[in-house]
With several copies, the nearest count.
Chain A
Amino acid sequence: MVTRDQIVAWLKTVAQVLEENKDYLTQLDAAIGDADHGINMDRGFKKVMSQLPGVEDKDIGSILKTTGMALISSVGGAGGPLYGTLFMRAGMAVDGKYELTDEDLAALLQAAVDGVVQRGRAQLGDKTMVDALTPATEAFKQAIGEGADTIEALRRAVDAAEQGMKDTIPMLAKKGRASYLGERSIGHQDPGATSSYLILKALLDVISQPQ
C-alpha cells in the first residue's frame, strides 16, 4: 500500500532531488541538447511545490493531476508536455483514491508511460525518457506478478530505470533535440531518461522509509 502522505512526500522529495541535480541534468542536456533540462525541471517542481499545499488533503488522483497541470504550465520545452502528461495520466489512472495497491501502482505507471509515448511518439531505443520509463514499468509489473512486495517491486523498477538510463549512452538519438546530432549523440546519457530515473528513485526512497 502506498498512502497519500507518501505520494505527497514523494513529490516533495522529487522537488528536492531535482534541485540538487539541476546542474547535473543541465550539464547532460548541454552535451546533446540545449542546456536547460535541469533548470526546466527544477522550475516545474518549484511550481508544483507552490500548488501542493492547496491539494495535499485531496485524493491522490487530484494531487497528481494538479502536479501535471503545474508542470505543463511552467516547464515548457519537451519536458513540460511529457512530464505534464505523465503526471496527468498517472492521476487519471488512480482518480479518487487515497491509497494505492500494487495493482493501482502498476496501472498508474502504465498510464503514465503510455501518455508519454502518445504525446512524444518516441519508441524504445530512441534515446529518450521512454528508455527509462518503459523498462521500469515492465519490471514493476513482472515483479508483482512474481509476488514481490511493493518495495521490492519498486526496487526492481528503479534498477531497470537506471539500467535503461545507462543504456541510452550508446544510443543514437531519434527524438528530441539530441536527434539533430545524429552520430554525435552517441556516447552521452539522455537527460530525460536521467530525470525519469531520479523521479522513480525518489518514490522508492520515500516508500522504503519507515512511515
Chain B
Amino acid sequence: MKKLINTPESFVKESLEGMAAAHPDMIKIHLDPNFVYRADAPVQGKVAIISGGGSGHEPMHVGFVGMGMLDAACPGEVFTSPTPDQMLEAAKVVQGGAGVLYIVKNYSGDVMNFEMAADLARTEGIQVANILIDDDVAVKDSLYTQGRRGVGTTVLAEKICGAAAERGYDLKKVADLCRRVNINGRSMGMALTSCIVPAKGTPTFDLAEDEMEIGIGIHGEPGRERMKLKPADEITEMLALSIIEDPAYTRIVREWDDEKGEWVDVELVDPPFQPGDKVLAFVNSMGGTPVAELYVVYRKLAEICEKKGLQIVRSLVGAYITSLEMQGCSITLLKMDDEMLELWDAPVKTPGLRWGV
C-alpha cells in the first residue's frame, strides 16, 4: 500500500489537523468527537448546514466547510459513516438559533446515524431537518431496497444550500431547496483502478489491466458492470446516457415531520431530463485521475448534452468527491433553475471550493 500517511489509525485525525493548520482563516477542528467547523461559528440567526460521512472522499465534506457552504462536517473513519455523537456535538457548536440541516448521503449507515443524531439534537431543543441525497443512477430503481446512493449531487447541494442559508433562508426553505436539488440531480461513476482502504491495506477489488468498472460507488463498492476498458468518449457516452435517459425515479424516504413530531415516510419523484433543460455539468475525479483526463470527458459530455438539447449553464471539473486514490471519474448533471443558479454563483470560501471572495 503506497500512501502518504503515518498509520492507518492516525490518518483521519492527522489529515484534519493538517487541514486546520493550512486554513486557519476558514475552519477549526474539534477532536474526539471529530468534526470540522467554520472558523466564525456559530453564525447567529443562520440555519446551520451540517454534513458528514465516511472519510476518504476529500475534499468532500470537510473541505467544504466555510463561508457560503457547510457550517460543520463530521468525518467518520475511512468509508465508514460517522457516529451520532459527532453530529450532535457539531450541531451544538455551530447552530445559531435557526435550526440545523443535516445533508445525508443515502447509505444505510449514514441514514441511521444521522437519524439518531437528529433525535438526540431535538431532545436538546435544536430544530433539525434531515435531507437525503440519493442521485446515483447506477443503482436501479426500486421501492423495496436501500435505493440509490448519494454521490456527486451532494457537493452541489452543499454549495447551493450553503448559499441559501447565508442569505437568511429559514430551515424549512433550505430543506425544501435541498430536496429540490437532490431530485434534480443525477450521477454515475466508473473506476479504472481500485482504491485501497488504509486499514485493510490491499485493493478493495481487482481489475485486470484491460478492465474497468462501470457504475462504481464512491467506496469501491462494485458497480453495475465490469467490462473491457474503452476509449474516454465511449465511457462518457455510457455514463451520460445512463443519466440523461434515466426515467422518473420514485422512492420513499424517511423525513422528520415537525408538526406530527415523528418520522414520516415521504414519496419523492425525480423528474427525467427534458430537452431545453438548463444543467450544471460536473465531471469529477475519483481521486487518482488528473484533471487533464477529466477535460477529455467533459469535451464529450458537452457534445452529448448539446445533441440531447440540454444547455450547460455552469460547469465544475475536478476532484471534489473522491474515493481515496481510485482512478476513474463520475458525471453529475443537475437541472438548474434561476434560484439555484444565483445561489451557485454566490460567494463561497472553503478549502475545497472558492470563488467570489
Contacts and interface: CB of A to CB of B under 8 A. Distances in A.
A177 B221 contact: yes
Interface stretch (B72-80, B280-288, B334-342): B72-80
A73 B33 contact: yes
A72 B81 contact: no
A39 B199 contact: yes
A76 B80 contact: yes
Choose among B84, B139, B199 the residue with the greatest number of A CB atoms under 10 Å from its CB: B199
Given A74-B83, A78-B81, A35 B112 contact: no
A80 B109 CA distance: 8
B189 to A, nearest CB: 12
A37 to B, nearest CB: 9
Contacts of A120: 108, 112
Interface in A123-180: 173-177, 179-180
Contacts of B355: none
Choose among A33, A73, A180 the residue with the greatest number of B CB atoms under 10 Å from its CB: A180
Contact of A34 (B112, B138, B145, B221): B221
A173 B108 CA distance: 13
Contacts of A180: 136, 138-139, 146, 149, 217, 221
B139 A77 contact: no
Interface size class of A (residues with CB under 8 A): 20 to 34
Contact of B145 (A32, A76, A179): A179
B80 A81 contact: no
A5 B85 CA distance: 30
Interface in A50-72: 72
Nearest to A71: B83
A79 interface: yes
B140 interface: yes
Interface string A23-36: 00010001111111
A76 B219 CA distance: 15
Choose among A30, A34, A179, A182 the residue with the greatest number of B CB atoms under 10 Å from its CB: A34
Contacts of B295: none
B233 to A, nearest CB: 23
A182 B200 CA distance: 25
B77 A175 contact: no
Contacts of A26: 200
A36 B83 contact: no
Contacts of A174: 144-146
A76 B77 contact: yes
A48 interface: no
A35 B139 CA distance: 19
Interface string B51-84: 0001000000000000000000000111111111
A142 B109 CA distance: 32
Interface in A183-200: 184
A72 B83 contact: yes
Contacts of A175: 108, 145-146
B165 interface: no
Contact of B84 (A31, A73, A173): A73
A180 B144 CA distance: 12
B34 to A, nearest CB: 11
A160 B78 CA distance: 33
A1 interface: no
A32 B222 contact: yes
Contact of A76 (B83, B140, B146, B217): B83
Contacts of A7: none
Contacts of B205: 30
A110 interface: no
Interface string B19-39: 000000000000001000000
Contact of B79 (A31, A36, A79, A82): A36
A77 B54 CA distance: 8
Given A36-B78, A72-B84, A76-B80, A181 B109 contact: no
B204 interface: yes
B107 interface: yes
Interface of B: 33, 54, 76-85, 107-109, 112-113, 115-116, 136, 138-140, 144-146, 149, 197, 199-200, 204-205, 217, 219-222, 224
29 contacts: A30-B205, A33-B219, A34-B54, A34-B204, A34-B220, A35-B197, A36-B77, A36-B78, A36-B199, A39-B197, A40-B77, A40-B80, A43-B77, A73-B83, A75-B83, A76-B80, A76-B81, A76-B83, A76-B109, A77-B80, A78-B109, A80-B112, A80-B113, A81-B109, A174-B144, A175-B108, A180-B217, A182-B139, A182-B140
Given A35-B204, A36-B79, A36-B80, 12 more contacts: A30-B204, A31-B222, A35-B79, A39-B80, A76-B80, A77-B81, A77-B113, A176-B108, A176-B146, A177-B108, A179-B139, A181-B222
Cβ-closest 10 pairs across A and B: A34-B219, A81-B112, A77-B109, A78-B109, A179-B146, A77-B80, A179-B145, A78-B108, A76-B80, A76-B76
